[in-house]
Structure 1
């Protein structure tokens, strides 16, 4: 997709960045004041403890479950030729507001420290019944571009039940394809995350919160809550289909195909199961290792006293399976490193070498979270306010994603989509 007025937008982009940096981000002042009760919260979980036994690593294995190629071909034949990411971005029909146009209530979701350097907000009407999830950019690109386009994906899910199961919307997950080429004007459109059904003659919505998401090559990995026995779903950004009927329904309808109001559909090309009651909470890409790694944090049930596990799967080097975890001789993906930690309520995870960065909930699940780093050098948490509170991160804490070449870390909370540099996070952690 070609853009006009690129130089004008670049000038506006420089002005925006200068405004954000020069004000030391006025949004920080608009953030919720840190209370005395929050200041009593400390975070001293100790160093992560390595898990090395075959039994420990086996509990974290992934078992591959591909969708039959014939099912995907049947669906594509019925829906029409798939479109590419550029075509999706060309159809962007919604606009993200810049930070200065977001309300004070919306900006309370932003971190108090370290402060965001770029921030935007989704429209209230567009996301009124949706829950924010993970955010990602093309992870193996040095600058977050896909085929020349700077693009972000922002995941959202419908309510767990909206009282109208026949509509197909209950819990339905979707992603906003965000055209991020112009930092002054981010536009987006919706694509429903779907799962082929009836041998590719139909599809259903992925009914799950998307708490983690990684885009690598043409592969998009998203977490699932395990309700259908699957921990991860696999999507291919080269298999985006158009929805030609606008309605609340999902799947084949009279006159064509509907996607709960979204203009596009991403049908899953595969999934992964995990044994027992292990559930993945968040995922991200680690490019500090060879091969690259897919890192994960565990979703520990509320009220459980079980330690939280963090682990890394090596990304396979097979060009035919770009972006997917490497498989052993038995067709399983096993972690090459795993740890347990006393940190609870992990909502986002990043890894760089031996350091693990975690965004975690604290106290009220919708309140301000904590951002910390765990590693061989010890532990550290960001602090803010005159009382040195650790509850400084977004409200609530959300997933983390980093663009390797630029070092930009993206997250979202409430209706706010925001980023800051990994180096800024490191400075805040000392």
Structure 2
């Protein structure tokens, strides 16, 4: 297990930043593909409006942890859990570099600012699955690594089309040690059942992921599910089934299974965290969230944050009161609707708004309590410069990169380039 101590590998960080600076991708061709349907300037949403303390108290989640004997019973039946390192040593698929991506795939990349790193997922491997959220080992630990590894986690959702199995969710564990050769394998997100004698798939679309210390927080339709990356189980039967099967355990074709160790359920009246990310600029570190409001809605979108626990006995969990409730430490309203990615760092909140059309582009706003700014591109000063299928935002503080995903494109760009583009 990784040590909890916060340490900085400064020499390795400087070398990595130099490498990234010298290997920025020439993706300007994608930057010219601006849809004519986006030739209007986006409406400025203005500054954020803060809730008072009483208003922020309404963003309450109730923590419910899976009993330890349930987890132990499942581990005893499936075999000793493995950690992230074992999963990365077993990667069996590769991401493609931009030269091997199609023109249509590359068109999903932002126009301004441009991506400095980009990869695409294999179409056959992701057919029928919808890309969701992204988090990294830069979230998990402030040195940017998990053990010796640099890791990216990418969440995907699948509608099975079966009434008895409403949906499935899985996470790609990506070995990012070599920026020129990203490899990965799948782990199915699951929920223990029958006191740990079996499990079922997580029947919820994945729109938000945050990996913090040894926990992975995943957005669901009714709150957040919590997973422990030190409790990954192996699936020893390759089939389309989920759970205990003849001969062992199956995970719908995935090699690994992540059983949930807890959840945070919505209190009465609390908004649902649709997209989430980690903010390391606060003390303590915090989970930031945005609800989902349709792009054509007149209702304002709510943004808020929960502090993480500083109790060494509760690594990776949210701070809770004596009743097990996680309460927001601050909350805001924004006029930006259709938010599909949220990031907070320092005094700025970054919100990406998806395109209003299938072939158009989205907008990335940087907001604070006074103003809202977005990049401009094209001769008409349009703000529609971001990826069309706007997605998650995850900040890798050690490298200064923001990671996101649009369709089958996984990409990164410096936060500093975003800030420059909106000035």
**For 2:349, which of 332, 356, 378 is the aligned residue?**
356
**Please, which moves more after superposition, 322-331 or 91-100?**
322-331
Which residue matches 1:372? Answer: 365
Please state how far the C-alpha of 1:19 moved relative to its aligned partner: 5.3
Please state how far the C-alpha of 1:14 moved relative to its aligned partner: 8.3
TM-score for both structures, normalised by structure 1: 0.90
Please state how far the C-alpha of 1:215 moved relative to its aligned partner: 0.7
Which residue matches 2:196? Answer: 200
Contact 1:399/1:412, CA 8 A, preserved across alignment: yes
**For 1:245, which of 234, 237, 241 is the aligned residue?**
237
**Please, which moves more after superposition, 377-386 or 332-341?**
377-386
**Please, which moves more after superposition, 191-200 or 139-148?**
139-148
Please state how far the C-alpha of 1:34 moved relative to its aligned partner: 3.2
**Please, which moves more after superposition, 83-92 or 304-313?**
304-313
What SS is found at the alignment partner of 2:72?
helix
What is the CA–CA distance in structure 2 between the aligned matches of 1:365 and 1:198, rounded to whole Å?
Answer: 43
Change (3 A) 1:27 1:93: farther
What is the CA–CA distance in structure 2 between the aligned matches of 1:365 and 1:375, rounded to whole Å?
Answer: 29
What per-residue deviation string (whole Å, max 9, x for no partner) do you get for residues 66-95 of structure 1?
A: 111111111000000001111101110000
Please state how far the C-alpha of 1:330 moved relative to its aligned partner: 2.5
Contact 2:192/2:198, CA 8 A, preserved across alignment: yes
Please state how far the C-alpha of 1:206 moved relative to its aligned partner: 0.7
Structure 1 residues 124-203: aligned runs within 5 Å: 124-138=123-137, 139-159=139-159, 162-165=160-163, 168=165, 170-203=166-199
Please state how far the C-alpha of 1:294 moved relative to its aligned partner: 0.7
Q: Please provide the CA RMSD for this pair.
A: 2.0
What SS is found at the alignment partner of 1:347?
strand
Which residue matches 2:332? Answer: 339
Which residue matches 2:67? Answer: 68
Structure 1: which 5+ residue stretches go unaligned? 1-10
Which residue matches 1:269? Answer: 261
Contact 1:43/1:381, CA 8 A, preserved across alignment: no
Contact 1:28/1:113, CA 8 A, preserved across alignment: no
TM-score for both structures, normalised by structure 2: 0.92
Structure 2: which 5+ residue stretches go unaligned? 1-14
**For 1:311, which of 292, 304, 309 is the aligned residue?**
304
Q: How many residues align?
A: 407
What SS is found at the alignment partner of 2:271?
coil
**Please, which moves more after superposition, 240-249 or 42-51?**
42-51
What is the CA–CA distance in structure 2 between the aligned matches of 1:417 and 1:91, rounded to whole Å?
Answer: 21
Structure 1 residues 16-165: aligned runs within 5 Å: 18=22, 20-21=24-25, 23=26, 25-29=27-31, 32-35=33-36, 37-54=37-54, 56-138=55-137, 139-159=139-159, 162-165=160-163
Contact 2:34/2:360, CA 8 A, preserved across alignment: no
Change (3 A) 1:281 1:322: same
Which residue matches 1:289? Answer: 282
What is the CA–CA distance in structure 2 between the aligned matches of 1:366 and 1:248, rounded to whole Å?
Answer: 33
What is the CA–CA distance in structure 2 between the aligned matches of 1:301 and 1:372, rounded to whole Å?
Answer: 17
What is the CA–CA distance in structure 2 between the aligned matches of 1:426 and 1:396, rounded to whole Å?
Answer: 21
What per-residue deviation string (whole Å, max 9, x for no partner) do you get for residues 245-290 of structure 1?
A: 0001111111110001000000000001113362111111111111
Which residue matches 1:210? Answer: 206
Q: Are positions 1:221 and 2:217 aligned together?
A: yes
Which residue matches 2:291? Answer: 298
Q: Are positions 1:396 and 2:392 aligned together?
A: no
What is the CA–CA distance in structure 2 between the aligned matches of 1:365 and 1:73, rounded to whole Å?
Answer: 46
Contact 1:142/1:406, CA 8 A, preserved across alignment: no
Contact 1:175/1:192, CA 8 A, preserved across alignment: yes
